């Protein structure tokens, strides 16, 4: 019991020391906590359970510690480097990838709805989404492999002297088949990854072109409608003012009293000049009036 207490105390002291310098010794800290958890050293230090121990000394729940220990075991000695590069959340997520897939995404990036992103640029949600996609693909591959023809081992009666050599040859063949199935699974996973990247890039390019074309068309339509609204507003204002002038001012000049009474003054000359101007304006407007053989293009008569 004395030896156990000493070992437990040393493990506890090491854990505290590594925790104080966790940036440098994060991996060793978690492996020491694993030792304390697995060997139940926390009982020797005076705690009833592991969570009470971790919360008291390090402020972590049992689940948090267990998750980080699992991540550290997956990364091994690279755990500290991964923490520095990706942070705690992404390091934990990447640890849950299969080793081959993890190497691929670290090297080539994560396929997302916005194209391929490296680990630093990808969000935690994007990494989690891609991890689920890989899991679904692995499940489909497993289903396909279970449906593939299997090598059926038949027993053949042979002389005793040849039996064991044939058995060894059959076992060697079986191992070769199993190795090829494993390689096939890895190749399928990588192939699916590359095909998905290609489809994402191809789809992104095609949809971007279509979207730009639609945006350009809508901008042209918007500009055309804006111009029409502006011109219609100005036209309504001008025709309204012109009608008001005719109704309230010019209509009364039709009656003879104005002309008879003012015939000997300069006013009549100004009146006839005005009449000539209005007549000229009416003639010009009549020339612009469309008919079956005439089109108006930007104010020009054709």
Q: Residue 142: how many CB atoms within 10 A of its CB?
A: 11
pLDDT at 137 (0 to 100): 81
Degrees, nearest 5: CA angle 186-192-193: 90
Model pLDDT for residues 63-110, shown as the tens digit of each residue: 988 988 888 888 887 887 777 777 877 888 788 888 788 888 788 888
The C-alpha angle with vertex 81 and arms to 75 and 87, in degrees rounded to 5, equals: 90
- Best CA proximity match to 95, nearest among 27, 152, 151, 21: 27
Rounded CA separation 51/61 (Å): 6
What pLDDT was estimated at residue 158?
Answer: 46
The owner of tokens 């992104």 is 204
Question: Average pLDDT in the 254-277 region?
Answer: 70
Helix (H) or strand (E) holding 293: none
Single pTM value for the model: 0.37
Lowest mean pLDDT among 3-12, 25-34, 113-122: 3-12
pLDDT tens-digit readout, 209-245: 777 787 888 888 878 877 778 877 877 777 777 767 7
* Distance between CA atoms of residues 88 and 85, nearest Å: 9
In tens, the pLDDT along 125-144 reads 888 888 888 888 878 887 87
């Amino acid at each position: 019991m004395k030896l156990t207490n000493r070992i437990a105390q040393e493990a506890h002291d090491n854990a505290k020391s590594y925790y104080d310098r966790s940036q440098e010794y994060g991996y060793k800290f978690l492996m020491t906590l694993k030792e304390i958890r697995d060997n139940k050293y926390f009982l020797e230090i005076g705690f009833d359970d592991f969570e009470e121990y971790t919360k008291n000394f390090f402020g972590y729940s049992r689940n948090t510690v267990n998750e980080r220990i699992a991540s550290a075991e997956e990364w091994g000695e690279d755990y500290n480097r991964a923490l520095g590069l990706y942070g705690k959340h992404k390091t934990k997520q990447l640890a849950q990838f299969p080793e081959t897939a993890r190497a691929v995404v670290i090297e080539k990036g994560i396929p997302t709805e916005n194209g391929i992103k490296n680990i630093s640029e990808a969000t935690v949600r994007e990494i989690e989404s891609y991890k689920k996609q890989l899991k679904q693909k692995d499940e489909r591959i497993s289903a396909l492999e279970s449906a593939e023809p299997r090598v059926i081992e038949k027993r053949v009666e042979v002389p005793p002297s040849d039996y064991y050599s044939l058995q060894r040859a059959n076992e060697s063949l079986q191992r070769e088949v199993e190795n090829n199935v494993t390689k096939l699974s890895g190749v399928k996973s990588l192939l699916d990854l590359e095909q998905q990247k290609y489809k994402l890039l191809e789809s992104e390019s095609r949809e971007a072109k279509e979207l730009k074309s639609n945006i350009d068309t809508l901008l042209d339509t918007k500009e055309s409608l804006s111009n029409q609204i502006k011109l219609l507003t100005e036209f309504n204002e001008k025709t309204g003012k012109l009608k008001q002038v005719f109704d309230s001012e010019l209509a009364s000049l039709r009656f003879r009293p104005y002309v008879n009474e003012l015939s000997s003054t300069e006013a009549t000359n100004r009146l006839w000049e005005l009449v000539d101007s209005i007549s000229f304006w009416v003639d010009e407007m009549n020339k612009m009036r469309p008919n079956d053989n005439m089109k108006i293009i930007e104010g020009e008569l054709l």
